[in-house]
Chain A
Amino acid sequence: MQVAACVKWVDLRPEVDRVHGTVRSVGGPGGAGWGISEADRAAVEVALQLGAVWSAPVAVVCAGPVGAEPVLRELLAAGVDRVVRVDTGADQPSHAAAVELAAVLSAGQLGADVVVCGDHSADRGSGTVPAFLAHHLGAAQALGLVRVEPVAGGRVRAVRRLDGGRREVLEAAVPMVLSVEGSVAELRRAPLAATLASGGREVEVRPGRPAHHVEPPRTRPWRPPPRVVPAPAGDHALDRVVQLTGALVERNPPRTVELAPAAAAREILDQLRTWGYLGADGE
């Protein structure tokens, strides 16, 4: 069994445009305000706890520049057995980073059975990397967890946050990808001697592909295509406006119906057929 945690090197205090929500990093990736998020630290702690229960080695994989290495050595001092840094650069898009991380975590390299990630990075990340990793690794995914308890046999019982303050309790088995919120666990303090010794410990480096920026496709609200309509006839402007707007044309008033869900769905489909949006076969 191999347990791994994935962490991302991010600007912990990025500037966020209050109107557009765009995120801008302050300073370079080696800057003072850069680090790994609380959620990623919690992920490392959860990985260490799982490794301790299952007697499994724990590795940390980080997508980040060389400036991340002092922080990664702190993780070695805290008890992580192995650290791999994927040299992707700090501005790597999440999906590309996930591909790089998945390559390192895959059976050909680390062979991670359990991967723990933070739920999303501090630079307003979308939280998609864990899902991408699960896809690439062909693993089960349990995301947005607020509690993780190891169970024997490579299984975990986890509690997941849902909307409206509700919780979902689920069990997952290896291979699996978990993503945890920052409140799940506090990363343990490394002993002083280990901290002092970690300065000479090795951080494995795997070359990443050069960073490239991918603009996500822009989605816009659907607008109906323009229709050519004949010019309204009439001598008077008011007649032409009435004709254009159809204000005096008789039409069916809107209906309000209260039905059970199944009946409501049937009613909607019938109405769509009436308007001609659906064929008789529902296509």
Chain B
Amino acid sequence: MPDVDAIVVGAGPAGAAAALELARAGRSVYLLERGPFPGSKNMYGGVVYGRILDTLVPGWWDEAPVQRWVTRRATMIMTGHQALTVDFRTESWGRPPYNGATAYRPDFDAWLAGKATDAGAVLVTSTTATGLLRDGDRVVGVRTDRPDGDLTADVVIACDGVNSFLAKEAGLYPHTDPANFTVGVKETIALPREVIDERFGVRGDHGVDYEIVGCTGDVPGGGFLYTNTDTLSVGLVLSLPALAAGGTRPEELLRRMKEHPAIAPLVEGGEVKEYSAHVIPEAGYDMMPELSCDGMLVAGDAAAMCLAAGIWLEGVNFAIGSGAAAGRAAARALQRGDTSNEGLAGYRSRLESSFVLADHRKLRDAPHLVMSDLAQRQLPGLACGVAERMFRVDNPEPKPGLRRILRQELKRNGVKVRDVVSHSLRALRTFG
């Protein structure tokens, strides 16, 4: 007789959502967290998109610990001395039902895990799941780092984050390629609230999210800058193999980005309060493991459900979506008394029919496009060069035509037309 119906490993967004669904279904569930509290180990470099919470926690925006509601989204393409920004803002994202928000993960994750414990899940903190308990091929529980720490259950849901040891031990990741991962580094910089409002042109609880391309030197990747209430989060996402091969420290690359003329005025005078780093599953659909085996499901970053698709950088919503689907599938399997791989197959079908796998499948080529040489090295120079030539007035010379500028800039940046056409077609297939 197992100790409990279900064990959820990891009290991040995926684990909390899974535990919440199981507890609401009347199942006994232990939610294990290796940190002293949910969110204590987590880091995030973007925006939390809460639409997935509409059904899970109705009216969530009234109580979720949000820093600012993002009403401006900007994509910045930069070279060493230039920057071209596409800047969109809408006030409708600043009122219910909102779109996205910046949040501190320790606050947000603790809040969501609190919903699970309110529903009846038992949160066990400072406890690391160090391995799986098996009966033959079937997963029947987890071993923890506490004395006498074995815990058995009918189903285990691994939400133990990127580089999931449980999923690997279960054989769900056949092989791991470092090229599928990036490392994110982030500084949290304190500035007075009114200074942030003034520099970013926002008021009240409205905020800004910048995604940046061309800011990572020779290392493929991207940057971000977003506003919290009285801090800024500034960071980079960097290709792991290129970072290791190049020998440049990520904090040095971050320092260079902060000194860029387009970024320096935004962050100057701030005090760095925190520096953090985290590995990110970048390759999306192409690196996803098997999502279940006998007695076990995988969700969230542990299942590589992080969308890094250029203009869409999303993770928390995919974690919540996959965690909630895992919770529902596990509850259904428990109800039927079949938690074998076949009995848990409902998990995959739930994900297939939702945005979680649909978006990942549709955008499976996007991470490769974003990390390509063209997008990383040549496109920023091309875009900024064209913009500079277009806006420059060379009187008494007459204005050059756009085609001439484009032709000259293509040549100057070493871009072949056939590469542009090929990438454009790929992008059209991916994003179209």
Q: Which residues of A contact B (CB under 8 A)?
A: 32-33, 35, 70, 74, 189-193, 195-196, 199
Is B107 interfacial (CB-CB < 8 Å)?
Answer: yes
16 examples of A-B residue contacts, CB within 8 angstroms = A32-B37, A32-B39, A32-B106, A32-B110, A74-B126, A189-B145, A191-B146, A192-B127, A192-B146, A192-B147, A192-B148, A192-B149, A192-B151, A195-B146, A196-B30, A196-B124
Cα of A193 to Cα of B147 in the assembled complex, Å: 9
Contact B148 A32 (CB under 8 A): no
Cα of A190 to Cα of B122 in the assembled complex, Å: 16
Contact A195 B110 (CB under 8 A): no
Cα of A33 to Cα of B39 in the assembled complex, Å: 11
Q: Which residues of B contact A (CB under 8 A)?
A: 30, 36-37, 39-40, 106-107, 110, 122, 124-127, 144-151
Contact A32 B146 (CB under 8 A): no
Residue of B nearest to A33 (CB): B106
Contact A35 B36 (CB under 8 A): yes
Contact A193 B37 (CB under 8 A): no
**Which chain A positions have C-beta within 8 A of B149?**
191-192
Contact A191 B39 (CB under 8 A): no
Q: Which 9 A-B pairs have the closest CB atoms?
A: A192-B146, A192-B149, A191-B147, A32-B106, A191-B148, A32-B37, A189-B146, A32-B110, A192-B144
A-B contact count (CB 8 A): 36
Cα of A33 to Cα of B144 in the assembled complex, Å: 24
Shortest CB distance B45–A (Å) = 19
Shortest CB distance A115–B (Å) = 26
Cα of A193 to Cα of B30 in the assembled complex, Å: 12
Shortest CB distance A46–B (Å) = 19
Residue of A nearest to B104 (CB): A32
The answer to whether residues A190 and B40 also contact, given A32-B110, A196-B122, A196-B124 and a CB cut-off of 8 A, is no
Most chain B beta-carbon neighbours within 10 Å: one of A33, A190, A192: A192
Q: Which one of B36, B37, B127, B150 lies within 8 Å of A195 (CB-CB)?
A: B127
Residue of A nearest to B124 (CB): A195
Shortest CB distance B358–A (Å) = 34
Cα of A199 to Cα of B148 in the assembled complex, Å: 18
Residue of B nearest to A12 (CB): B36
Residue of B nearest to A199 (CB): B122
Contact A32 B151 (CB under 8 A): no
